[in-house]
Amino acid sequence: MKVLIGLSVLSCMAIWAADITPLNVKLGQWETTSQSQIAGLPPIPQNVLDKMSPEQRERIESRFKANQAPRALVTKTCLRKEDVEKAATFGDDDKACTRTIVTASSTRQEMRIECTRPTGKQTGTIHVEASDSEHVKGVVHMTMLLGDRSMTVNSSFESKWLGSVCTEKDSTK
């Protein structure tokens, strides 16, 4: 889940595709505070669930439910020119996913994403706003479906520019 949030934030701060107007943000060290909440059951394939004992299944579902409380995460990331030039693709090479750019300006970007795989379907939206070149905030809503099991992930983040020099390696607190 941390990876999903990190990729979403970094991708949104850079560019979603080469022909999309990038957000007007400064390069350098950024700090992002993100919060996420998960609801529903993990989309585990039925054939995997069928192989579990009732105790194993209960243990997995109990652990998952215990981890559904809202969580805050603070990360520091270095945004470099080459990151912007590479056009962060948010998994753009994934042929199972389609992306629809709803809005793309230097201050606001919104995208819908839909992925269909043998393991299930994922849909979601990403909305990002840069109030100025040093402050970015956004929300990510994702739903994962597999048979009768569904899980939703709702995340929000606020990022602030710390300076033009990257003083720390990318980190998570």
Please report whether residue 170 resides in a domain: no
Q: What is the spatial distance between Cα 92 and Cα 89, in angstroms, rounded to a whole number?
A: 5
Q: Which of 77, 73, 63 is nearest to 11 (CA)?
A: 77
What local confidence, expressed as pLDDT, does residue 137 receive? Answer: 97
Lowest mean pLDDT among 14-18, 42-46, 72-76, 163-167: 14-18
Q: What is the pLDDT of residues 109-161, one digit of tens each?
A: 899 999 998 878 999 999 999 999 999 999 999 999 887 788 899 999 999 99
Please report whether residue 113 resides in a domain: yes
Lowest mean pLDDT among 9-13, 14-18, 29-33, 64-68: 14-18
Please report whether residue 167 resides in a domain: no
What local confidence, expressed as pLDDT, does residue 30 receive? Answer: 94
What local confidence, expressed as pLDDT, does residue 95 receive? Answer: 83
Q: How many domains does the chain have?
A: 1
Note down the domain range covering 33.
Answer: 2-162
Residue 8 pLDDT > 80, yes or no?
Answer: no
More confident residue, 159 or 58: 159
Q: If 0-12 CB within 10 Å is exposed, 13-18 middle and 19+ buried, where does residue 157 land?
A: buried
Please report whether residue 172 resides in a domain: no
What local confidence, expressed as pLDDT, does residue 45 receive? Answer: 76
Mean pLDDT for the chain overall: 80
Task: Give the number of residues written for the chain.
Answer: 173
pTM, two decimals, is 0.73
Q: What is the DSSP string of the chain?
A: -HHHHHHHHHHHHS-SSTTSPPP----EEEEEEEEEEEEE-----HHHHHHS-HHHHHHHHHHHHHTTS-EEEEEEEEE-HHHHHTT--SSTT-TTEEEEEEEE-SSEEEEEEEEEETTEEEEEEEEEEEEETTEEEEEEEEEEEETTEEEEEEEEEEEEEEESS--S-SEE-
Amino acid at 17: A
Q: How many CA atoms lie within 13 A of 33 on its CB side?
A: 6
Under a CB-based contact definition with an 8 Å cutoff, are residues 49 and 164 in contact? no
What local confidence, expressed as pLDDT, does residue 158 receive? Answer: 97
Please report whether residue 76 resides in a domain: yes
What local confidence, expressed as pLDDT, does residue 113 receive? Answer: 92
Please report whether residue 104 resides in a domain: yes
What local confidence, expressed as pLDDT, does residue 16 receive? Answer: 43
More confident residue, 89 or 130: 130
Please report whether residue 73 resides in a domain: yes
What local confidence, expressed as pLDDT, does residue 168 receive? Answer: 65
